[in-house]
Amino acid sequence: MSSNQQLENNACIPNKHDAKYIELVHNTLQETKETFEKEQKLSDKVLLNLYNIFGAVFERSLELYEQGRITHIYPSETTAVIPHSDRNNARYLVQVKGFSGSIYTFFPDVNYCTCASFRCQVLNDKSIFTCKHVLAAWFHMSNMYPDTTNYMLVAKLGNLRTIVQLLKAINFKETATCFGTENGLKVTVEDAKCMQASAYIPSHVFQEFNLKDDVIFRINLNVLVECLCMFWSNINSQGSSVALQLFYKGTGHPVTVLIEEDGVITDCSLKTQDPDELLDFHLDPENVLNKVVLQTELLKDILSELDPTSDLIELLLSPSAPCFRISTAGLAGICHVDLPHEGDLVDNFQCSSTATASYKLSHIKPAMKALLYANKVSLRTDTCGLLCFQYMVKTDEGQTCYIEYYISPVIDPNE
């Protein structure tokens, strides 16, 4: 029987000494947690149920929760990794700062507090079931630590730097489509069906990657990157550890992101949308005409100096000189930049035939952002002129992630 039915079937709330009351409290809190996880808000009916059970204690606990007076304390050896998502196995204490400024410390999921209200009203005269501090902590933990057994995707990263770099490199549109498979997580952004960027995080890069079934959803990438970048200065500072947890329950549910920094946790909830239909950009091996693998320093210096007044950029690849040429035509005139096809900064140069194609500079510029984080870049073109940049990004732990940019050529109507 649900808590709603129990409340409707009882003329009054059961006595607090009665086992039925404890069952009613448990059912109400569980339904509150499930409703909040799904809808990211508490309905009027849920609020009324909580008030009927806890009365003024509920009102005061909600004030504590909304004012952010709840924090967690972790042992020093666990601050460098993500805290347990299973509250029953969590190794931490809860601290609640009362309205008077006093700090109350207690164990999670234990109905006990050192405040005077708990001692007098809960233990002595048993007039209330719990105090506002314990109830406020419950609201906080229920929002922050989902029951992972009900989630389609649970992913944990011990270092936030990797995912911030990857997402910033493809953040040229507002929304992104996320794919979760057994191979890992893929985040894709597309613009006008003529360019597409994807960031790949293999499953072995995660400290934990649990996936019940393949998932796909769309999120607001701008909001996610903005949330993660709040910790960017801390990520780059020595001695600071910032970790991340990601939870997704399935279609229609939000994505919950927990960010932990030295024992302090920030939680974000992002609404998901039905994914857009994306084009299947790919290069068939038999159609690839050219492949160049470079150290990023070479391409970074050249692309950063391109004439910004040029609408197009022309790319020439040929087995004979000039082997690798980038050209622009702007207010400064026509400019040709010839790149070496061999040397310390060129790892591989394969060119089967001469190919020339033009691309919008506005499409090339977003692809340049990935050069800031990559170690190597592979450049490929096919018989249709489709251009693919593939970037290899090394994590701090020495593992490899990838970023891909596909850019369609500009078609000359006179041809």
pLDDT in tens, 177-216: 999 999 999 999 999 888 999 999 999 999 889 999 999 9
CA angle 274, 278, 281 (to 5 degrees): 155
Rg from Cα positions in the chain: 28
Helix (H, G, I), strand (E, B) or coil at 102: coil
At 115 the pLDDT is 92
**How many C-beta neighbours within 10 Å does residue 82 have?**
19
Residue 378 forms part of a structural domain: yes
Q: Is 386 inside any structural domain? A: yes
What pLDDT, on a 0 to 100 scale, did the predictor assign at position 343? Answer: 79
What's the pLDDT score for residue 278?
86
Residue 228 counted as domain residue: yes
Asked if 155 and 263 sit in the same domain, the reply is yes
pLDDT over 70 percentage in the chain: 82
At 138, is the pLDDT very low, low, confident or very high (cuts 50, 70, 90)?
Answer: confident
Specify the pTM. 0.66
Q: Taking residues 255-273, what's their average pLDDT?
A: 80
Say what the pLDDT of residue 83 is. Answer: 40
User: Is 166 domain-assigned?
Assistant: yes
Q: Is the dihedral of CA 42, 44, 49, 52 positive or negative?
A: positive
User: What is the model's pLDDT at position 238?
Assistant: 52
Shared domain check, 254 and 192: yes
Together in a domain, 263 and 184: yes
Specify whether 197 is located in the same domain as 135: no
246, 326: one domain: no
pLDDT at residue number 201:
93
C-alpha to C-alpha distances, 329 to 113, 307, 311, 332, nearest whole angstrom:
73, 8, 8, 7
- How many domains, in total, are found in the chain? 3
- The verdict on residue 414 lying in a domain is no
The residue from 113, 145, 177 where one domain ends is 145
Claim to verify: residue 125 and residue 27 sit in the same structural domain: yes
Query: Are residue 82 and residue 181 in the same domain, yes or no?
Result: no
Q: Are residues 222 and 266 in the same domain?
A: yes
- Which residue spans within 361-413 are E strands per DSSP? 376-382, 387-394, 400-407
Residues 129 and 159 reside in one and the same domain: no
Joined tokens for residue 124: 């002595």
pLDDT tens across 37-63, in order? Answer: 666 666 778 788 888 888 888 888 888
Write down which residue in 273, 297, 325 finishes a domain. 273
Phi, psi of 42 (to 5 degrees): -105, 120
When mean pLDDT is compared across 243-247, 259-263, 276-280, 377-381, the lowest value belongs to 259-263
- pLDDT at residue 79 in the model: 37
Looking at residue 262, its pLDDT comes to: 67
Give pLDDT, residue 264. Answer: 67
Work out the mean pLDDT of the chain and round it to a whole number: 81
Name, of 98-112, 329-343, 387-401, the range with top average pLDDT: 387-401
Q: What CATH number is associated with residue 191?
A: 3.70.10.10
2, part of any domain? no
Residue 342: domain span: 288-407
The SS3 assignment for 179 reads: strand
Band of pLDDT at residue 352, cut at 50, 70 and 90: confident
Please identify which residue in the block is written with the tokens 């960031």: 199
The number of beta carbons lying within 10 Å of the beta carbon of residue 292 is 21
Judgement on whether residues 23 and 139 belong to the same structural domain of the protein: yes
Q: In the sheet that 153-157 helps form, which strands lie side by side, from edge to edge?
A: 208-211, 153-157, 242-248, 255-261, 264-270
Among residues 243, 273, 303, the one where a domain terminates is 273
Q: Are residues 175 and 141 in the same domain?
A: no
**Tokens 């150290």 — which residue?**
295
Do the Cβ atoms of 218 and 275 come closer than 8 Å?
yes
Classify residue 365: in a domain, yes or no. yes
pLDDT at 2 over 70: no
d(CA 324, CA 366): 21
Question: Is 412 inside any structural domain?
Answer: no
Same domain, 139 and 192: no
Question: CA angle, corner 335, sides to 332 and 339, nearest 5?
Answer: 150
